[in-house]
Structure 1
Amino acid sequence: MNISKDRWRLLMLGILAVLLGGCTLAPKYDRPASPVPGNWPTGAAYQEERPAVSEPAADLPWREFLPEERLQKAVEIALKNSRDLRLAALNVERARALYRVQRDELLPSLDAAGSGIKERVPADLSSSGRRTTREQYRVDFGVSSWEIDFFGRIQSLKDRALEEYLATDQARRNAQILLVSEVANVWFALAADGENLVLSRSTLETQQTAYNLIRKRYDVGLASELDLSRAQTQVDTARRNVAIYTQWAAQDVNALDLLAGAPVPAEFLPSKLSGIKPPKEVSAGLSSDVLLSRPDVLAAEHRLKAAHANIGAARAAFFPRISLTTTLGTASADLSDLFKSGQGTWTFGPQIVMPIFDARTWSAYDVTKVEREISVTRYEQTIQAAFREVADALALKGTLGEQLAAQQSLVEATAKAYRLADARYDRGIDSYLSVLDAQRSLYSAQQALTALRLEGFTSRITLYKVLGGGSTEDFRYQ
């Protein structure tokens, strides 16, 4: 048998291994049935949900969803500098590298080795009966212990690594959606606190003016000390509210800077909620199947597929492992003759290991089956949690309009009551206590209206987020 024939056999064996390498013993994957209703909840809390006229939330880029330019700048800074997002991206790179390592196990590892030896052989050990010095030089190139994946063990491990990589990439996309939504929520919260701060300062000015007027009346005996003390309490309360909202606005800026990973310039910050472009309206459509496109649901499904692939690797452990070691080289007793014609060498060493009994193999197989059931349960839990999040967002959306209308009417009614109470006090018809009650009611109603307007903005953000908003978009800042 010459070297050319052996090379031909090695080539054919390699082709056979490649052809069989695509076969695995993993069970066929079937997506589990969705554990939630096919349609969204209905009832008094839910508006009739019609399919969105525009593109689905998953296909709606965040720039279109958030039309306010200052907010867009803040989001851009966050996408560029967020450490959380950077960690998510690094996890993806690590998972991709691990997948490549596992994938490359299917390929033979080629090595080149050179060696040289020179030794003194005593006369009593020499075949010639004389003391000799022996030299040997060798250069080899070949494959050391290449496992031929007849039963798909390495292929299954490669498939598992691929699914884990894809799951990590979906986790990155989910982190991006969460980052955009959190930046928007904090940005609008800062706007609401800024509006409440403006309201508190205006209230303080009004209360201070009222106090000064009552103080003049008290000095001339036209107002009682009780009215003066009551007016003072209103001034102090307004001063406290100004301090509180000043604090909250500063903390909102700190939270925004943390999310953004860098200080957000003042020109990109809102001063109050009024006049800000709201987020775009999105619709959940009619079917809950949109949940299957959420990044966290897709990540759970990829982990489930990885568990299926792991079963294939465990099953393959019951079958023989075939490995191959082969080298081609040259050897000589004289270094100068190492590469001359006729000095070629070769080795060919196939090996087969047949498992007879190993209790650990059966236990490992049982582990993979349980892990698959765990992955199925987690996948179903993720869908159920997603369904609940969307249903809650739709319930808020269905009732928020009525709440806003009622609160706006309440503000108008309390403002009128305050004007009437103040007029009655000026004419001496009623006590200052009625004015105080009307002022408190008006201030509380105005605060509640701002809170509801903020909730209207954040509810749109929440619905966009829980529907997987922008999940088909590459969020990375360019």
Structure 2
Amino acid sequence: MRHKTFAVLPIVALLAACSMAPTYQRPALPVPAGIGAEATGSATLPAWQEWFADPALKDLIAAALENNRDLAVATARIEEARALYGITRADRLPTVGIGGGMQAARTPEAITGGDAATSRRYDANIGITSFELDFWGRVKSLSDAARAQYFATEEAQRAVRVTLIGDVANAYWNLRAFEERADYAKKTVDSLSASARVVNRRLETGLSNRLDALQADALVAESRASQANLERQARNARHALQVLVGKEVVIPPAATALTSTLPNTRVPDGLSSDVLLARPDVRQAEYALQATNANIGAARAAFFPTITLTGSAGSASAELSDLFGGGTRAWSFAPQITLPIFDFGRNQANLDLAEARKVIAVAQYEKTVQVAFQEVADVLSDQAGQQAYVEALEAAVMKQRDRLKVAQARYDAGLVGYLDVLDAQRALYLSEQNLIDAARARLAVTAEAYKALGGDAQQPLDRS
């Protein structure tokens, strides 16, 4: 009978668990069915090594994935959540332990009425302690909630990783743009300084006037100020990139200008809103919602009786040498049931709290989806708009160069004043600077697309 009792306990525990958690249903997407133009389906991105073609950028991203502190913290959070899930999952199974002990007691003469009596007891047993039969699914719901939180933490780490890759790319292009703009400013200063020397020599020979010389010198000073400011911004951009990468940044000189490295990769102009479900932040929000759903089950189960089992089987003897001898078998079995009667509304308040947290989680999930929709829609809009902007600025730069040539020729011929040349030089400088920045913005769309579509680690949401 004793052996049958302990053998049936695991079977009872297995059959006992049910769940009082509400049936989970994913909320409907609170956004239109399609993003951008007519929806053409999903967009699965290649690995980041293929999405970002620049070799220097690839090295920086690889270094950031190895050294970035935010990513290290997010990865450690996964281990923390995995451990917590392991603890709650273990609560669903009985803890079996082996124990042994000795008890000794002396009864004094005043009590025995004669000689003092000494008794000893030696025990060795195997048993379970306070194992809860999960008839109402309370422990299972807590385990399900911890499991969902664990998966949410994994998605949070994915989100940090995807964001880090995109941010490194943007920081790299920012640095490249500021360095290229500062270099162009330096070349402009050199060119304007040479022109200013010519104007001052013409002033000395009476072929120019004082106003032309002052205007030429003022434009040189303005260009030097612009160069100094751009060099400062380039240094700060390098500092920002170093923080993301996690170590000193060494970038080889660029072989080509930013306008020559515009990406060939692009996202389809129309996407189904289902692509949002692959984003790690959306998946994180859904796992958090699943956790709150499971917590409702645990709160509901708290209204019902709690049944716990404690039992052991082994040997007991008055002498250590006889502990495993014949006739020493011993066992104990102590089931216990507890039913809350007066808790002054504690269980109801816990249930109300769990249900309120689910309402919050649903709203947070829907908000996350809406933000994701906007980011993807912005990427599709910027992809076309920024490319058109770059092409228009390229045409404007060509026209400004032609304008400067004509203005210089007319000034040399004495047909116009030097102010026309200065205006043409200033306009060309601004157009060139705007073109470099527009190329940076077009490249940034590539990074934003990578982040908006959830990176390259596309995995199904449901996990075993």
Which range, TM-score by smaller chain? over 0.9
Give the superposition deviation at 1:49: 5.7
Partner of 2:11: 15
Kindly tell me the number of residue pairs found equivalent between the two proteins.
458
Query: What pairs up with 1:43-122 in 2 under 5 angstroms?
Result: 48=37, 51=40, 57-122=43-108
SS in 2 for 1:160: helix
Alpha-carbon distance in 2 for matches of 1:345, 1:384:
65
Partner of 1:178: 163
Partner of 1:369: 355
SS in 1 for 2:144: helix
Partner of 2:179: 194
Instruction: Note if contact 1:191-1:271 (Cα within 8 Å) is conserved in structure 2.
Output: no
TM-score computed with the length of structure 2 as normaliser: 0.94
Alpha-carbon distance in 2 for matches of 1:350, 1:444:
84
Which amino acid letter does the alignment assign opposite residue 386 of structure 2?
L
TM-score computed with the length of structure 1 as normaliser: 0.91
Alpha-carbon distance in 2 for matches of 1:145, 1:268:
69
Alpha-carbon distance in 2 for matches of 1:73, 1:268:
14
SS in 1 for 2:309: strand
CA distance change for structure 1 residues 138 and 13 in 2, over 3 Å: closer, same or farther? closer
What whole-Å deviation, never above 9, does each CA across 1:17-56 have from its counterpart, x for those lacking one? 11333x2111101111111111125xxxxxx46638xxx5
Identity across matched positions, percent? 38
- Long gaps (5+) in structure 1: 42-47, 474-478
Partner of 2:462: none
SS in 1 for 2:446: helix
Query: What pairs up with 1:136-151 in 2 under 5 angstroms?
Result: 136-151=121-136
Could you tell me which of 378, 398, 419 is aligned with 2:405? Answer: 419
Does residue 31 (structure 1) correspond to residue 16 (structure 2)? The answer is no
Alpha-carbon distance in 1 for matches of 2:9, 2:104:
37
Could you tell me which of 456, 467, 474 is aligned with 2:453? Answer: 467
Instruction: Note if contact 1:279-1:460 (Cα within 8 Å) is conserved in structure 2.
Output: no
Which amino acid letter does the alignment assign opposite residue 28 of structure 1?
T
Which amino acid letter does the alignment assign opposite residue 32 of structure 1?
P
CA distance change for structure 1 residues 58 and 177 in 2, over 3 Å: closer, same or farther? farther
SS in 1 for 2:222: helix
Give the superposition deviation at 1:270: 7.4
Which amino acid letter does the alignment assign opposite residue 454 of structure 2?
G
CA distance change for structure 1 residues 389 and 50 in 2, over 3 Å: closer, same or farther? same
Which amino acid letter does the alignment assign opposite residue 338 of structure 1?
L
Alpha-carbon distance in 2 for matches of 1:446, 1:107:
70
Instruction: Note if contact 2:39-2:272 (Cα within 8 Å) is conserved in structure 1.
Output: no
Alpha-carbon distance in 2 for matches of 1:270, 1:321:
72
Judge which range, 72-81 or 355-364, deviates more: 355-364
Alpha-carbon distance in 1 for matches of 2:118, 2:394:
106
CA distance change for structure 1 residues 112 and 270 in 2, over 3 Å: closer, same or farther? farther
Alpha-carbon distance in 2 for matches of 1:330, 1:95:
41
Partner of 1:45: none
Which amino acid letter does the alignment assign opposite residue 398 of structure 2?
E
Partner of 1:264: 249
Query: What pairs up with 1:271-350 in 2 under 5 angstroms?
Result: 272-276=257-261, 278=263, 280-283=265-268, 285-350=270-335
CA distance change for structure 1 residues 269 and 332 in 2, over 3 Å: closer, same or farther? farther
Alpha-carbon distance in 2 for matches of 1:67, 1:320:
62
Partner of 1:476: none
Partner of 1:432: 418
Which amino acid letter does the alignment assign opposite residue 64 of structure 2?
A
CA distance change for structure 1 residues 391 and 37 in 2, over 3 Å: closer, same or farther? same
Which amino acid letter does the alignment assign opposite residue 91 of structure 1?
R
Give the superposition deviation at 1:268: 8.1
Alpha-carbon distance in 1 for matches of 2:27, 2:39:
27
Does residue 40 (structure 1) correspond to residue 32 (structure 2)? The answer is no
Alpha-carbon distance in 1 for matches of 2:128, 2:213:
98
Alpha-carbon distance in 2 for matches of 1:397, 1:299:
27
SS in 2 for 1:106: coil
Give the superposition deviation at 1:331: 2.1
Could you tell me which of 361, 364, 385 is aligned with 2:371? Answer: 385
What whole-Å deviation, never above 9, does each CA across 1:100-127 have from its counterpart, x for those lacking one? 000000111123333323333123422x
CA distance change for structure 1 residues 354 and 284 in 2, over 3 Å: closer, same or farther? farther
Judge which range, 172-181 or 347-356, deviates more: 347-356
Judge which range, 304-313 or 195-204, deviates more: 195-204
Give the superposition deviation at 1:326: 0.4
Give the superposition deviation at 1:296: 0.4
CA distance change for structure 1 residues 274 and 391 in 2, over 3 Å: closer, same or farther? closer
What whole-Å deviation, never above 9, does each CA across 1:333-381 have from its counterpart, x for those lacking one? 2222223221221101111112223210011111111111111110000
Instruction: Note if contact 1:193-1:272 (Cα within 8 Å) is conserved in structure 2.
Output: no
- Long gaps (5+) in structure 2: 460-464
